[in-house]
Amino acid sequence: MSRNDSIRPRPTDNAFLGPLEGGSLEPTYSGALSFMRRRYSRDLSVADVVVWGVPFDCATSNRPGARFGPQALRRASAIFDGDPQFPSGLDPFEALTVIDWGDCSFDYRRLDQVHGLIEAQAAEIIAAGCHLVTLGGDHSITLPLLRAHVAEHGPLALVQFDAHQDTWEDDAEGISHGTFVTRAEMEGLIDCSRSIQIGIRTVAPDDFGIAIVDAYEARGLGVAGIAQRIRERVGDAPAYLSFDIDALDPAFAPGTGTPVAGGLSSAEALMVLWSLRDIDWRGMDIVEVAPAYDHADITAIAGATVVQHYLQILAERTRG
């Protein structure tokens, strides 16, 4: 090896120029940002998993700002670049081809059309046989995402990490981040007998028979107990993961629109998720990251790590 070879700089802009397989090695602080440096692409024929953003927050009931969540999550995910991933110790991109689709396209002036466009674009990705991972956005986006997934997979068990039940009354006409579960139940999208919510610490009018592990109960159960409760509830049903970042205590996730004290720590939530590698996951979203209220990116880092753990779960499943 010549001296010039030994000092050759690392490549940059893996998001546009790098290979589809394997982690990249560009410096964490430079280069174009995609989720975990995955190649931006719209070629679904090469992808096992598609990560995309839905920068919509016009259905919030408190502080806005989750429209900037996809940007923040991509930025925070750069810290994982090029390393064996914890806790698996593996490079998930050796087992999975993951692309960053970019963001959902919609006209912010036509709010009545947004959910339909989310559903249609998600359906295109899912119909191509790709596993869809969504970066939100407020929690209302989970409703069109569920519609798209259910069209392919049938009704799903919902595993929801959240401070809120999101079961407020809904007239089936408007959109709200606090009613997506109500609408999903009304439309038969979720199997409530197999669904469960973790970290709840508010009270809503109805639970539709969905099991609840509230934040205080979760603290008493511990990581193993929470994971066991989820496994018992979901069983072998196909499942969808919706992770509202406000499931975490504001000490671990201040950058969100409706923070509620007394939630899970980031370590507890990640350990529970990692314990659920035997669940038949069909898709997931991370929502309500609002970076304007964040400090030192700690909320975005927590959210990006949720997705990083989920990708490792999919990679382990692919590897058998």
pLDDT of residue 124: 97
Would you kindly state where each structural domain of the chain is located, as residue ranges? 14-319
The whole-number pLDDT of residue 9 equals 61
CA–CA distance, 126 with 152 (Å, rounded to integer): 7
CA dihedral 304, 306, 311, 312 (to 10 degrees): 120
Can you give 206-234 as a three-state secondary structure string?
A: CCCCCEEEEHHHHHHHHHHHHHHHHHHHH
Contacts of 155 (CB under 8 A, 6+ apart): 188, 189, 190, 191
Q: What is the DSSP letter of 291?
A: G
141 compared with 107, residue with greater pLDDT? 141
pLDDT in tens, 202-235: 999 899 999 999 999 999 999 999 999 999 999 9
Cα separation of 140 and 61, whole Å? 11
Of 16-30, 121-135, 185-199, 257-271, the least confident: 16-30
Binding-site residue numbers are 139, 162, 164, 166, 244, 246
How confident is the model at residue 1, as a pLDDT? Answer: 44
pLDDT of 163: 97
Among 9-13, 54-58, 185-189, 228-232, the least confident range:
9-13
More confident residue, 7 or 260: 260
Binding residues for Mn(2+): 139, 162, 164, 166, 244, 246
Binned at pLDDT 50, 70 and 90, residue 166 comes out as: confident
185 burial level (CB within 10 Å; 0-12, 13-18, 19+): buried
CATH code, residues 14-319: 3.40.800.10
pLDDT tens digits for range 254-308? 999 999 999 999 999 999 999 999 999 999 999 999 999 999 999 999 999 999 9
Which pLDDT score is estimated for 4? 53
CA distance linking residue 297 with residue 306, whole number of Å: 14
Do the beta carbons of residue 158 and residue 240 sit within 8 Å? yes
> Does pLDDT of 81 surpass 80?
no
- Give the pLDDT band of residue 24 (cuts 50, 70, 90): confident
Dihedral (CA of 159, 161, 162, 163) sign: positive
